[in-house]
Amino acid sequence: MEKTRKWRWGINRWFVLAFIILGFIAARLWPPVLPDIRLPAEVIFHIGNFGWTNTMTAMVIADVILLIIALIVRRAANSKDMIPRGFSGAVEALLEVIHNLTETTAGRWTRTIFPFFATITMLVLVANWTELIPGVNSIGLIEKAAVGQPGFAVVQSFLGPTLTPEKGEYTLVPLVRTLSTDLNFTVALALISIFMTQVVGLRALGPKYLGKFWNVGGFFKRPIFGVIDFGVGILELVSEFSKILSFSFRLFGNIFAGSVLLFVIGTLVPVFAQSVFLMLEFFVGAIQAIIFGMLTMVFMSQATQGHGDHEEEHA
Amino acid sequence: MIGTIGAGLGIGVVVNGAVQGMARNPDASGLVQTNMILGIAFAEAVAIYCLVIALIILFVG
């Protein structure tokens, strides 16, 4: 057994102290201003008639990060060493947790359902965690403020033109804005998720899957309860649409509220207070990614089971 | 703001049931925890709807 070293105060506390002092100085020299909080994503530049918004930049960044992760993990998986180390090991641990969850819930259909769960989780995870990188949401283009919105004055500093908290006419349009704060992204992901749930259900049960919604079989067996079954079928149809809304607004609301919280806290208490909320956002981003994927997986495995197999248990 | 009362109570009820289940049957901890996270997500989503409507009222129109 190796000899454990006695724990001693290390060098990292000096780094933290240095950063806090740097934060004080920076907050004095360049005091932060409240950014313009807008619900739709802001357009950075135009390509012909098409506006490229700042969330599209975040989407490209998230895709590139995911591709790099995939290449790193693939190289580790193809090497002769059976145990991946370091970063690939962490990714493998995450995917193993997801795979075990899928196996306990879906059973036979794990091979179909697992890619959706894993892809949605990884994409939403990377998209949510980009708002923690310094520079996102704060570095951008200075534009004239719209009528009725608060504006700030511009001061030249060695970083370039910077906003100061005096009344003026300019506001900041960030170059990169968190992808999940764009309602387009969340609604699109929810539509894909629910649509593929129907596809998986049709693959599993065939046309009988539509009997879940249009439930007229009960009319012949038990006439009175058949009407109730029919009503339940129509309610299931309505609930599919409400699932789309619920998926998209859950992710959007959590991440948008988190980014607004970070802005406001960063403006009110510029030194060190935002770090605590960054920890909270880290946690919330991870949880929301897993929840999105897990709900997709649960709905898909419910779709493969249909009405008759209510008693199916997994030991 | 009033909408968050419901979410707080709801999440409290879910976690109450989950913790009692875990206390009665510690072997089923993993299963109970998974379903607890699922239940918390559903209950929290309703509070998030309330927040989104507040944001819409504040920032749009």
Amino acid sitting at position A152: F
A53 Cβ partners below 8 Å, 6+ apart? A41, A42, A43, A44, A177, A182
Whether the Cβ atoms of residue A273 and residue A314 lie closer than 8 Å to each other: no
Q: Is residue A155 part of a domain?
A: no
List the domain range (segments joined by +) for residue B9: 3-59
Contact A39 B38 (CB under 8 A): no
Query: H/E element holding A297?
Result: helix A273-305
CA distance A85 to chain B (A): 26
Interface-testing mutation among B4, B27, B36, B44, with chain A (most A C-beta atoms within 10 A) = B44
Q: What is the pLDDT of residues B19-42, one digit of tens each?
A: 999 999 888 888 888 888 888 878
Range of the domain at A196: 28-139+177-305
pLDDT of residue A145: 66
C-beta separation of A98 from A118 below 8 A: yes
Strand partners, A174: A140
ipTM value: 0.75
- The model's pLDDT over A206-221, given as tens digits with 9 standing for 90+, comes to 888 887 777 776 667 7
Helix H segments across chain B? 3-24, 29-59
- Predicted pLDDT at A314: 39
Distance separating alpha carbons of residues A281 and A311, to the nearest angstrom: 39
Q: What pLDDT score was predicted for residue A192?
A: 94
- pLDDT (0 to 100) of residue A1: 54
Domain assignment present for residue A215? The answer is: yes
Q: Is residue A94 part of a domain?
A: yes
Number of domains in chain B: 1
Give the whole-angstrom CA distance, residue A265 versus residue A47. 35
Q: Is residue A38 part of a domain?
A: yes
Residue pair A101/A44 in contact (Cβ under 8 Å)? The answer is no
pLDDT value for A213: 79
Query: Nearest residue on chain A to B51, judged by CA atoms?
Result: A253
Taking chain A (315 residues) in runs of 10, the rounded mean pLDDT of each run is: 70 86 84 78 82 89 93 84 80 90 86 91 93 83 67 72 75 86 92 93 84 73 76 86 89 89 85 86 90 91 69 40
- Identify which of A38, A250, A298 has the shortest CB distance to residue B48: A250
Domain assignment present for A189: yes
Interface test with A, best of B35, B59, B60 (most A CBs within 10 A): B59
**pLDDT at residue A311, rounded to an integer:** 40
Q: What is the DSSP letter of A179?
A: G
Instruction: Look up the CATH number of the domain holding residue B18.
Output: 1.20.20.10
How many structural domains comprise chain A?
1
Q: Is the pLDDT assigned to residue B16 strictly greater than 70?
A: yes
CB contact under 8 A, B55 and A254: no
Q: Which ranges constitute the DSSP H helices of A50-168?
A: 54-78, 86-106, 110-129
Please tell me which of the candidates B45, B51, B56 has its beta carbon nearest to residue A246: B45
Q: Report if residue A157 sits inside a domain.
A: no
Model pLDDT, residue B30: 80
- pTM comes to 0.84
Q: What is the mean pLDDT of chain A?
A: 83
Res A312: pLDDT: 42
Q: Tell me how close the Cα of A207 comes to any Cα of chain B, in angstroms.
A: 30
Residue A133 belongs to a domain: yes
Task: Find the helix or strand (DSSP H, E) in which A263 lies.
Answer: helix A223-268
